[in-house]
Structure 1
Amino acid sequence: MSEYKELEHKELLNSMSDKLSFTPRILEIVGDIDSKFLKKYNLCNHKLLSDGALPAKTKILMALAVVASKQCERCTVVQMQSAINNGATKEEIMEAMDVIFITSGAPAVAACRDALKQLK
Protein backbone atom coordinates (compact mmCIF):
# COMPACT_ATOMS: atom_id res chain seq x y z
CA MET A 1 0.00 0.00 0.00
CA SER A 2 1.45 3.39 -0.93
CA GLU A 3 2.14 5.93 1.81
CA TYR A 4 -0.68 8.15 0.49
CA LYS A 5 -3.19 5.27 0.46
CA GLU A 6 -2.06 4.13 3.89
CA LEU A 7 -2.52 7.64 5.27
CA GLU A 8 -5.92 7.94 3.59
CA HIS A 9 -6.84 4.50 4.98
CA LYS A 10 -5.87 5.54 8.52
CA GLU A 11 -7.74 8.85 8.21
CA LEU A 12 -10.90 7.03 7.11
CA LEU A 13 -10.61 4.58 10.02
CA ASN A 14 -9.98 7.43 12.46
CA SER A 15 -12.98 9.33 11.13
CA MET A 16 -15.24 6.31 11.50
CA SER A 17 -13.79 5.53 14.93
CA ASP A 18 -14.48 9.07 16.10
CA LYS A 19 -18.15 8.73 15.13
CA LEU A 20 -18.54 5.23 16.58
CA SER A 21 -16.18 5.79 19.54
CA PHE A 22 -14.42 2.53 18.62
CA THR A 23 -13.06 0.79 15.53
CA PRO A 24 -14.71 -2.46 14.46
CA ARG A 25 -11.84 -4.86 13.64
CA ILE A 26 -13.53 -5.88 10.39
CA LEU A 27 -13.03 -2.35 9.03
CA GLU A 28 -9.30 -2.57 9.61
CA ILE A 29 -9.15 -5.92 7.83
CA VAL A 30 -11.33 -4.86 4.90
CA GLY A 31 -9.42 -1.60 4.56
CA ASP A 32 -6.14 -3.49 4.33
CA ILE A 33 -7.57 -5.70 1.59
CA ASP A 34 -9.48 -3.09 -0.43
CA SER A 35 -9.28 0.60 0.43
CA LYS A 36 -11.98 1.38 -2.17
CA PHE A 37 -14.44 -0.73 -0.20
CA LEU A 38 -13.54 1.22 2.93
CA LYS A 39 -14.39 4.47 1.13
CA LYS A 40 -17.78 3.08 0.07
CA TYR A 41 -18.44 1.86 3.58
CA ASN A 42 -17.54 5.26 4.96
CA LEU A 43 -20.14 6.94 2.73
CA CYS A 44 -22.84 4.62 4.07
CA ASN A 45 -21.55 5.01 7.61
CA HIS A 46 -21.65 8.81 7.30
CA LYS A 47 -25.29 8.64 6.18
CA LEU A 48 -26.19 6.45 9.15
CA LEU A 49 -24.29 8.47 11.74
CA SER A 50 -25.44 11.91 10.59
CA ASP A 51 -28.59 13.71 11.61
CA GLY A 52 -31.03 14.27 8.79
CA ALA A 53 -34.81 14.08 8.77
CA LEU A 54 -34.17 11.37 11.40
CA PRO A 55 -31.63 11.85 14.16
CA ALA A 56 -28.57 9.60 13.95
CA LYS A 57 -29.58 7.87 17.19
CA THR A 58 -32.90 6.81 15.65
CA LYS A 59 -31.20 5.52 12.52
CA ILE A 60 -28.75 3.52 14.62
CA LEU A 61 -31.59 1.95 16.62
CA MET A 62 -33.21 1.04 13.31
CA ALA A 63 -29.94 -0.51 12.17
CA LEU A 64 -29.79 -2.45 15.44
CA ALA A 65 -33.23 -3.90 14.68
CA VAL A 66 -32.21 -4.85 11.14
CA VAL A 67 -28.98 -6.62 12.09
CA ALA A 68 -30.72 -8.39 14.97
CA SER A 69 -33.41 -9.60 12.58
CA LYS A 70 -30.59 -11.04 10.44
CA GLN A 71 -29.31 -12.75 13.60
CA CYS A 72 -25.82 -11.33 13.25
CA GLU A 73 -24.50 -11.38 16.82
CA ARG A 74 -21.31 -9.40 16.18
CA CYS A 75 -23.27 -6.83 14.16
CA THR A 76 -25.67 -6.32 17.06
CA VAL A 77 -22.76 -5.68 19.40
CA VAL A 78 -21.38 -3.05 17.03
CA GLN A 79 -24.78 -1.36 16.60
CA MET A 80 -25.46 -1.49 20.36
CA GLN A 81 -22.11 0.19 21.06
CA SER A 82 -22.87 2.77 18.40
CA ALA A 83 -26.34 3.42 19.86
CA ILE A 84 -24.91 3.92 23.34
CA ASN A 85 -22.12 6.14 22.02
CA ASN A 86 -24.69 8.23 20.15
CA GLY A 87 -26.82 8.89 23.21
CA ALA A 88 -29.37 6.06 23.23
CA THR A 89 -30.63 5.36 26.71
CA LYS A 90 -31.14 1.92 28.22
CA GLU A 91 -34.89 2.51 27.98
CA GLU A 92 -34.70 3.42 24.28
CA ILE A 93 -32.61 0.35 23.53
CA MET A 94 -34.98 -1.92 25.46
CA GLU A 95 -37.93 -0.45 23.55
CA ALA A 96 -36.07 -1.22 20.34
CA MET A 97 -35.66 -4.75 21.69
CA ASP A 98 -39.46 -4.92 22.04
CA VAL A 99 -39.80 -4.00 18.37
CA ILE A 100 -37.15 -6.56 17.41
CA PHE A 101 -39.03 -9.27 19.31
CA ILE A 102 -42.42 -8.32 17.87
CA THR A 103 -41.17 -8.15 14.29
CA SER A 104 -38.49 -10.85 14.22
CA GLY A 105 -39.10 -13.15 17.17
CA ALA A 106 -36.96 -14.76 19.82
CA PRO A 107 -34.05 -15.78 17.53
CA ALA A 108 -33.43 -12.11 16.74
CA VAL A 109 -33.47 -11.19 20.42
CA ALA A 110 -31.09 -14.09 21.11
CA ALA A 111 -28.70 -12.56 18.57
CA CYS A 112 -28.53 -9.55 20.89
CA ARG A 113 -27.37 -11.59 23.88
CA ASP A 114 -23.77 -10.29 23.93
CA ALA A 115 -24.82 -6.79 22.94
CA LEU A 116 -27.26 -6.54 25.85
CA LYS A 117 -24.44 -7.16 28.33
CA GLN A 118 -23.32 -3.60 27.60
CA LEU A 119 -26.47 -2.23 29.25
CA LYS A 120 -25.64 -3.60 32.70
Structure 2
Amino acid sequence: MSEHEEVVKSIGDKMGFTPKILETLKDIDPHFVRKYNRCNEKILTDGAIEAKYKVLMALAVVASKQCEACTVSQMRSALNHGATKEEIMETMEVISITSGAPAVAACRDALKLLKD
Protein backbone atom coordinates (compact mmCIF):
# COMPACT_ATOMS: atom_id res chain seq x y z
CA MET A 1 0.00 0.00 0.00
CA SER A 2 1.38 3.43 -0.95
CA GLU A 3 1.86 6.26 1.54
CA HIS A 4 -1.13 8.06 0.04
CA GLU A 5 -3.37 5.03 0.34
CA GLU A 6 -2.23 4.57 3.94
CA VAL A 7 -3.16 8.18 4.76
CA VAL A 8 -6.61 7.75 3.24
CA LYS A 9 -7.11 4.44 5.06
CA SER A 10 -5.96 5.89 8.38
CA ILE A 11 -8.28 8.89 8.08
CA GLY A 12 -11.13 6.58 7.06
CA ASP A 13 -10.46 4.32 10.03
CA LYS A 14 -10.49 7.23 12.47
CA MET A 15 -13.57 8.90 10.98
CA GLY A 16 -15.44 5.63 10.56
CA PHE A 17 -15.82 6.23 6.81
CA THR A 18 -13.68 7.55 3.98
CA PRO A 19 -14.74 10.98 2.74
CA LYS A 20 -15.37 10.88 -1.01
CA ILE A 21 -13.14 13.89 -1.53
CA LEU A 22 -10.14 11.90 -0.31
CA GLU A 23 -10.81 9.10 -2.77
CA THR A 24 -11.15 11.65 -5.56
CA LEU A 25 -7.98 13.51 -4.57
CA LYS A 26 -6.06 10.24 -4.25
CA ASP A 27 -7.01 9.38 -7.82
CA ILE A 28 -6.28 12.83 -9.26
CA ASP A 29 -3.17 13.85 -7.31
CA PRO A 30 -1.95 11.36 -4.70
CA HIS A 31 0.60 13.82 -3.34
CA PHE A 32 -2.15 16.26 -2.41
CA VAL A 33 -3.47 13.69 0.08
CA ARG A 34 -0.42 14.27 2.28
CA LYS A 35 -1.85 17.71 3.09
CA TYR A 36 -4.88 16.00 4.57
CA ASN A 37 -2.63 14.04 6.89
CA ARG A 38 -2.56 17.09 9.17
CA CYS A 39 -6.26 16.41 9.77
CA ASN A 40 -5.40 12.84 10.61
CA GLU A 41 -2.66 13.88 13.03
CA LYS A 42 -4.30 16.88 14.69
CA ILE A 43 -8.09 16.69 14.55
CA LEU A 44 -8.74 12.96 14.59
CA THR A 45 -6.27 12.13 17.36
CA ASP A 46 -6.62 12.76 21.08
CA GLY A 47 -4.27 15.36 22.50
CA ALA A 48 -4.83 17.92 25.23
CA ILE A 49 -8.36 18.00 23.76
CA GLU A 50 -10.10 14.72 22.95
CA ALA A 51 -10.69 14.11 19.25
CA LYS A 52 -14.46 14.04 19.84
CA TYR A 53 -14.42 17.66 20.95
CA LYS A 54 -12.09 18.72 18.13
CA VAL A 55 -14.51 17.18 15.64
CA LEU A 56 -17.42 19.04 17.27
CA MET A 57 -15.40 22.25 16.88
CA ALA A 58 -14.82 21.36 13.24
CA LEU A 59 -18.57 20.83 12.85
CA ALA A 60 -19.18 24.35 14.13
CA VAL A 61 -16.56 25.83 11.82
CA VAL A 62 -17.81 24.13 8.65
CA ALA A 63 -21.39 25.04 9.57
CA SER A 64 -20.32 28.68 9.88
CA LYS A 65 -18.94 28.38 6.33
CA GLN A 66 -22.32 26.91 5.28
CA CYS A 67 -20.78 23.84 3.67
CA GLU A 68 -23.55 21.23 3.78
CA ALA A 69 -21.39 18.32 2.60
CA CYS A 70 -18.77 19.26 5.18
CA THR A 71 -21.32 19.27 8.00
CA VAL A 72 -22.44 15.76 7.06
CA SER A 73 -18.84 14.58 7.06
CA GLN A 74 -18.07 16.18 10.43
CA MET A 75 -21.33 14.90 11.94
CA ARG A 76 -20.49 11.36 10.88
CA SER A 77 -17.03 11.77 12.36
CA ALA A 78 -18.44 13.19 15.60
CA LEU A 79 -20.81 10.26 15.98
CA ASN A 80 -17.97 7.83 15.20
CA HIS A 81 -15.89 9.53 17.90
CA GLY A 82 -18.63 8.98 20.45
CA ALA A 83 -20.34 12.36 20.51
CA THR A 84 -23.77 12.10 22.10
CA LYS A 85 -26.97 13.63 20.79
CA GLU A 86 -26.84 16.04 23.72
CA GLU A 87 -23.28 17.15 22.88
CA ILE A 88 -24.21 17.61 19.24
CA MET A 89 -27.31 19.63 20.10
CA GLU A 90 -25.27 21.89 22.40
CA THR A 91 -22.87 22.36 19.51
CA MET A 92 -25.88 23.29 17.37
CA GLU A 93 -26.79 25.93 19.95
CA VAL A 94 -23.28 27.38 19.68
CA ILE A 95 -23.58 27.34 15.90
CA SER A 96 -26.91 29.14 16.11
CA ILE A 97 -25.62 31.80 18.49
CA THR A 98 -22.34 32.43 16.70
CA SER A 99 -23.28 31.95 13.05
CA GLY A 100 -27.06 32.24 12.81
CA ALA A 101 -29.81 30.49 10.92
CA PRO A 102 -27.90 29.96 7.65
CA ALA A 103 -25.26 27.93 9.49
CA VAL A 104 -27.93 25.87 11.24
CA ALA A 105 -29.64 25.31 7.89
CA ALA A 106 -26.34 24.02 6.49
CA CYS A 107 -26.63 21.21 9.06
CA ARG A 108 -30.00 20.02 7.76
CA ASP A 109 -28.73 16.78 6.22
CA ALA A 110 -26.16 16.27 8.96
CA LEU A 111 -28.87 16.36 11.63
CA LYS A 112 -30.74 13.57 9.84
CA LEU A 113 -27.90 11.29 10.92
CA LEU A 114 -29.14 11.63 14.52
CA LYS A 115 -32.36 9.87 13.54
CA ASP A 116 -30.56 6.73 12.31
TM-score when scaled to structure 1?
0.91
Q: Distance in 2 between matches of 1:21 and 1:79?
A: 11
* Range that drifts further, 87-96 or 11-20: 11-20
Greater Rg over alpha carbons, structure: 1
RMSD of aligned C-alpha atoms?
Answer: 1.1
User: Alignment length, in residue pairs?
Assistant: 115
- Residue 104 of structure 1, CA deviation: 0.2
Q: Distance in 2 between matches of 1:109 and 1:39?
A: 31
Aligned residue in 2 for 1:98: 93
Unaligned runs of 5+ in 2: none
Q: Secondary structure at the match of 2:49?
A: coil
Percent identity of paired positions between Structure 1 and Structure 2: 70
Unaligned runs of 5+ in 1: 1-5
Aligned residue in 1 for 2:42: 47
2:107 alignment partner, one of 83, 104, 112 = 112
Q: Distance in 2 between matches of 1:49 and 1:16?
A: 8
